[in-house]
């Protein structure tokens, strides 16, 4: 196989692999789609599909992170600077201010699903 052919075969696979974040499982209404997409691109790798958590990071559909307990300002600050313990790295190079706004909007919508089992 010549080099050019190898590149032609490998490149699309590499692009696909790097471009596909975690896929959301839930369908959200139109106003939350942008935030859902950004969340799944930037955050879901650690926080899981639909923000349900992974072994890398906690789920965010929990009363601990609801608006009363964890304000929008605190969420934005966490995204910009990482968590205060340093366990979550800063994400400021991966998002715009508009992405942050949309992600928070999406998270607040998703948190409507908080039930006694996950609070
Ligand atoms: C590299 C993995 C990783 C990525 C990417 C990530 N997080 Fe986190 N996040 C963590 C970990 C780990 C914690 C737990 C931090 C702790 O306990 O200090 C956390 C905690 C949080 C918290 C709670 C912070 C606190 O002080 O308790 C919020 C809110 C949060 N993440 C939101 C987000 C959002 C929104 C995104 C996407 C813009 C994101 N995270 C991307 C790993 C990640």
Supply the DSSP symbol for 31: G
CATH at residue 111: 1.10.760.10
User: Could you list the residue range(s) of the whole structural domain that residue 66 is in?
Assistant: 24-118
4 part of a folded domain: no
CA distance 56 to 46: 5
The answer to whether 100 and 76 have CB atoms below 8 angstroms apart is: yes
The whole model's pTM is what?
Answer: 0.87
**For ligand 1, what atom is nearest to the CA of residue 79?**
38
Q: Quote the ligand 1 centre to 79 CA distance (angstroms).
A: 7
Question: Given this model, what pLDDT does residue 115 score?
Answer: 78
43 part of a folded domain: yes
Question: Given this model, what pLDDT does residue 99 score?
Answer: 98
Alpha-carbon Rg for the chain in angstroms = 17
CA distance 34 to 36: 5
CA distance 102 to 39: 9
State which of 88, 91, 94, 99 you would mutate to test the pocket of ligand 1, scoring each by most atoms of that ligand within 8 A of its C-beta.
88
75 part of a folded domain: yes
Does 88 contact ligand 1 (Cβ within 6 A)?
yes
Number of domains comprising the chain? 1
The answer to whether 42 and 66 have CB atoms below 8 angstroms apart is: no
14 part of a folded domain: no
Q: What is the pLDDT along the chain (119 residues), one digit of tens a residue?
A: 677 766 676 655 554 555 557 999 999 999 999 999 999 999 999 999 999 999 999 999 999 999 999 999 999 999 999 999 999 999 999 999 999 999 999 999 999 988 777 76
Give the contacts of 25 (CB within 8 A, at least 6 positions apart). Answer: 49, 50
């Amino acid at each position: 196989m010549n080099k050019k052919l190898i590149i032609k075969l490998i490149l699309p696979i590499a692009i696909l692999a790097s471009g596909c974040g975690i896929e959301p499982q839930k369908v959200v209404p139109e106003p939350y789609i942008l935030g859902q997409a950004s969340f799944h691109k930037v955050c879901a790798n650690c926080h899981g599909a639909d923000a349900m958590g992974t072994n890398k990071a906690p789920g965010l559909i929990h009363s601990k992170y609801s608006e009363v307990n964890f304000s929008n300002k605190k969420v934005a600050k966490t995204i910009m600077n990482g968590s205060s313990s340093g366990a979550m790295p800063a994400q400021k190079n991966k998002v715009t201010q508009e992405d942050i706004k949309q992600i928070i909007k999406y998270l607040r919508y998703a948190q409507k699903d908080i039930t006694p089992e996950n609070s």
